[in-house]
Amino acid sequence: MPEDQNARHAEKMRKIKAARDRMMETKTEEKGLILVHTGAGKGKSSSGFGMIMRCIAHGMPCAVVQFIKGNRETGERTLLRDRFADECRFFVSGEGFTWETQDRERDIAAAQNGWKIAQEQILDPEIRFVLLDEINIALRYDYLDIDEVVDFLLHQKPAMTHVCLTGRNAKPELIEAADLVTEMTLVKHPFRDGIKAQIGVEM
């Protein structure tokens, strides 16, 4: 990174940290957390969905926005839609879009639409926990503006609302803004060729 770019980056990170510190100062015993699950290992989304299960169990209204390509039906989606439609709102940002078309404009529109829904859910006083599943992918490709997302989380998120953002390659700005960051690391994954993704484990 050139020196001036380095300096700009450092200044930006310092500002995010200062905003986070100011937010923290207003908190006492409880606060809504900004959680990030990243890394190349398994469990980023599934632990997000595990938290959704906990919210449902505790009667905390919650919402999921999935920033995924295509329309592949997943187990979580099926279960939440079929069994927990009253307790958990479920949205797919790419729904109706075919991200596989390599049409960057459509991808951006899908991600932006997901982020619009995400903001509405986070601002909704009914909702206590919002899972932004795989949003890091949309951020990585700059389909969403990282500064806008971080600014919203630090300054507009209601104090008691938890937001969990998942996906590999979390941006440094997001890590700086977060309260809790977990990296899932793959220690061992020796599937030999020919072993498929397993239903229940990976889908």
Instruction: Select from 1-9, 92-100, 116-124, 189-197 the region that touches a second copy (CB under 8 A).
Output: 189-197
In angstroms, what is the minimal distance from the CB of 41 to a second copy?
4
Among 7, 85, 159, 186, binds a second copy (CB under 8 A): 186
Instruction: Select from 94-102, 116-124, 145-153, 178-186 the region that touches a second copy (CB under 8 A).
Output: 178-186
Helix, strand or coil for residue 65? Answer: strand
**Gap between the Cα atoms of 122 and 182, Å rounded:** 21
CB 180 within 8 A of CB 33: yes
In angstroms, what is the minimal distance from the CB of 166 to a second copy?
10
Instruction: Select from 1-9, 20-28, 64-72, 104-112 the region that touches a second copy (CB under 8 A).
Output: 20-28
Order of strands, sheet of 88-92, starting from the edge strand that comes earlier in the sequence: 34-38, 162-166, 129-133, 62-66, 88-92
Q: Is 19 in the site for a second copy (CB under 8 A)?
A: no
Nearer to a second copy, 5 or 191 (CB): 191
Q: Is 64 in the site for a second copy (CB under 8 A)?
A: no
Q: Is 127 in the site for a second copy (CB under 8 A)?
A: no
Q: Is 47 in the site for a second copy (CB under 8 A)?
A: yes
Q: Is 97 in the site for a second copy (CB under 8 A)?
A: no
Which of these, 131, 115, 116, lies nearest to 74 by C-alpha position?
131
Among 54, 104, 116, 155, binds a second copy (CB under 8 A): 54
Mapped to the 3 state alphabet, what secondary structure does 110-173 carry?
HHHHHHHHHHHHHHCCCCCEEEEECHHHHHHCCCCCHHHHHHHHHHCCCCCCEEEEECCCCCHH
In angstroms, what is the minimal distance from the CB of 144 to a second copy?
21
Among 23, 65, 76, 134, binds a second copy (CB under 8 A): 76
Q: Is 181 in the site for a second copy (CB under 8 A)?
A: yes
CB 45 within 8 A of CB 134: yes
Q: Is 62 in the site for a second copy (CB under 8 A)?
A: yes
Contacts of 44 (CB under 8 A, 6+ apart): 37, 38, 166, 167, 168, 184
